[in-house]
Amino acid sequence: MSKPVLWLRCEKKEFERRAALTPTTAKKLLNTGFDIFVERDDQRIFDDSEYEAVGCKLVDNNSWPSAQKSVPIIGLKELPESTDPLPHTHIQFAHCYKNQGGWSKVLSRFHRGGGTLYDLEFLTDAQGRRVAAFGFHAGFAGAAAGALAVAANRKGEELGHLTPYENETAMVDDVKARLGGGGKGLKALVIGALGRCGRGAVDLFQKIGLEDADIIKWDLDETAKGGPFNEILEVDVFVNCIYLSSKIPPFVTHETIDKAGKGRRLAVVVDVSCDTTNPFNPIPIYNVNTTFDKPTVPVPVAEGNPPLAMISIDHLPTLLPREASEQFSTDLLPSLLEFPSRQTSRVWVDSEKLFKEKLASAAEVEGL
């Protein structure tokens, strides 16, 4: 019986430094009999030598298209846009199961190539909860970015280039310093505060020194009445952490922003969920993703009203790439150990079933 194999591809998304497999988890897979190929990657937070030291086989950067079709390819972010057919099995976030922009074209590549997609967002346990998610670090980093944008706003400036931090302590210290020594006096509202993402946002605000009364924590009960919510306009930074799969009333709109006039306190909105092209987006005040080199985009406001910045970076956890990768990869490991039995392992069987359903829908849309 041949050894199970995984091929860790490099990430082509600009500024992305995380990895789906870390040297720590790769070693555990190797110890159970896997062969692990790792593409060389100067952008990744983990040095190539860290993988080589635990026994991985290094291969050229972005060489996965030449791998045998039977070799599963694992990565994090979506592949670069292309029309090339995909004959391999891919384990990754593809962002194409919720009718996001271009979703059918992404899946049509698998249809034409005969490959399979196991979307990391939809690997779930028996209770329907994701087996691995970056939620906590997404919320933590999103709140940090929001606080940094408030600090810039207070100086009449826009937030500049964001650079990933070596560790959490470095991030917290930098945010506190830019706020003038800490976050006391800053007021924040987190929607989705009971989830992993929301807990991460709350944790960051606590660690930079916000008083508990100034961290407003909302979840299903508080939003049940339906938006828009004027309370959002009465804080310095609003962080959206909800996972949305159906249409709900918007949380905030251009109309409510303009109605607040010159008295609006809200200076920064952070959409950690960042489903910019999702037709159900509950924050319909922006339509573009922001990036690490330009992390904010101005929200149009009535003349004379205070500025409002929007952050919609779709890979926020890479602000803490090493810690975020270690946590995610550790959580994913038990499922990866079952991957050789994916024809019978429930988590993989369910994922493939969902893929085939979405693939059929895409084929119909694309006329394949």
DSSP secondary structure, 170-183, as one string = HHHHHHHHHTTS--
**CA atoms 207, 208, 209, 212: torsion sign:** negative
Look up residue 211 and give its two tokens. Answer: 């008083």
Note the pLDDT tens digit of each residue in 306-354: 999 999 998 999 999 999 999 999 999 999 999 999 999 999 999 999 9
Omega cis (within 30) before 306: no
- Return the number of other C-beta atoms located less than 10 Å from residue 154's C-beta: 14
Region 147-165: mean pLDDT is 96
- Opening angle at CA 244, ends 350 and 287, nearest 5: 120
Q: Which residue has the higher pLDDT, 74 or 14?
A: 74
Cα→Cα distances 32→1, 28, 171, Å: 14, 7, 36
Q: Is 314 marked as a binding-site residue?
A: yes
| Banded pLDDT at 200 (limits 50, 70, 90) | very high
Cβ atoms of residues 228 and 253 within 8 Å: yes
Tell me: is residue 265 an annotated ligand-binding position: no
Q: What is the largest CA-CA distance in the chain?
A: 71
Is the predicted pLDDT of residue 279 greater than 80, yes or no?
no
What's the rounded Cα separation, in Å, for the pair 19 and 164?
14
Whether 243 has a binding-site annotation, put simply, is yes
Mean pLDDT estimate for the chain: 95
15: left (phi over 0), alpha (psi -120 to 50) or beta: left
* 214 labelled binding-site residue: no
pLDDT of 1 above 60? no
* pLDDT at residue 2 greater than cutoff 90: no
pLDDT at 65: 97
Q: Classify each residue of 139-148 as buried b or exposed e, where b means 16 or more C-beta atoms within 10 Å of its C-beta.
A: bbbbbbbbbb
Q: Has residue 190 got a pLDDT over 80?
A: yes
Of 287 and 74, the structure prediction assigns the larger pLDDT to: 74
C-alpha span between 155 and 136 (Å, rounded): 29
Band of pLDDT at residue 99, cut at 50, 70 and 90 = confident
Which residues are designated catalytic?
A: 77, 95
Residue 223 assigned ligand-binding role: yes
Helices (H), the chain: 23-31, 48-54, 103-113, 135-154, 168-178, 196-207, 220-223, 254-260, 321-337, 346-366
The enclosing H or E element of 38 equals strand 35-39
CB atoms within 10 A of CB 219: 16
CA–CA distance, 62 with 70 (Å, rounded to integer)? 17
What the block records as the tokens of 251 is 């949380």
Q: What is the mean pLDDT of residues 34-53?
A: 97
> Which sign does the torsion angle of CA 143, 200, 182, 15 carry?
negative
Query: Which of 41, 4, 43, 42 shows the shortest CA–CA distance to 26?
Result: 4
For 115-141, what is the mean pLDDT? 96
Is residue 272 marked as binding?
yes
Instruction: Consult the annotation and say whether 313 binds a ligand.
Output: yes
Asked if residue 316 belongs to a known ligand binding site, the reply is yes
Percent of the chain with pLDDT over 90: 91
pLDDT digits (tens, 9 = 90+) for 225-266: 999 999 999 999 999 999 777 788 999 999 999 999 999 999
Is 189 annotated to bind ligand? no
